[in-house]
């Protein structure tokens, strides 16, 4: 095998690798959903540490929280009800879709039916 043939094979492998990376990146970028978050929006925060409190039916979303600031590169600064401020990754939040009237808790008591 000649050195020129070896260089050609190496360059072809580099080109194939570059093409593969470009296609993979394009596929990945196409699947990303961009969130239009702005200051003042209400959001829910995904709880990553739920495994400490096992429960099948326990919700993994906490909140609602208010967005104070949207930082560059996807970070979000949140405010809770006690005006505590903390910063999280923007991928861990989703928009809170509820009416402002339903934020207060309401309960309904369920009793066992009386036996006949």
Q: What pLDDT digit, counting tens, does each position of 46-84 carry?
A: 987 756 556 667 778 888 999 999 998 889 999 998 989
- Written in H, E and C, the secondary structure of 40-60 is CCEEEEECCCHHHCCCCCCCC
* Confidence bin at 101 (pLDDT 50/70/90): low
Contact 50, 75 (CB under 8 A): no
Contact 43, 78 (CB under 8 A): yes
Task: Count Cβ atoms below 10 Å from residue 53 Cβ, excluding itself.
Answer: 8
Would the pLDDT of 34 be above 70? yes
Would the pLDDT of 21 be above 90? yes
- pLDDT value at position 69? 94
- pLDDT value at position 111? 79
For residues 14-39, give the mean pLDDT: 92
CATH topology of domain 42-98: SH3 type barrels. (2.30.30)
* CA gap 94, 80 in Å, rounded: 15
The residue length of the chain stands at 116
Would the pLDDT of 104 be above 90? no
């Amino acid at each position: 095998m000649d050195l020129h043939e070896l260089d050609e094979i190496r360059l072809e492998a580099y080109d194939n690798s570059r093409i593969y990376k470009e296609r993979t990146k394009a596929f990945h970028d196409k699947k990303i959903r961009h969130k239009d978050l702005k200051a003042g929006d209400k959001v829910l925060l995904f709880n990553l540490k739920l495994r400490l409190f096992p429960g099948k039916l326990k919700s993994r979303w906490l909140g609602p929280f208010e967005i104070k600031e949207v930082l560059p590169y996807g970070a979000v600064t949140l405010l809770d009800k006690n005006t505590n401020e903390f910063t999280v990754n923007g991928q861990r939040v989703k928009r809170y879709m509820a009416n402002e009237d339903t934020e207060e808790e309401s309960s309904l008591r369920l009793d066992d039916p009386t036996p006949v």
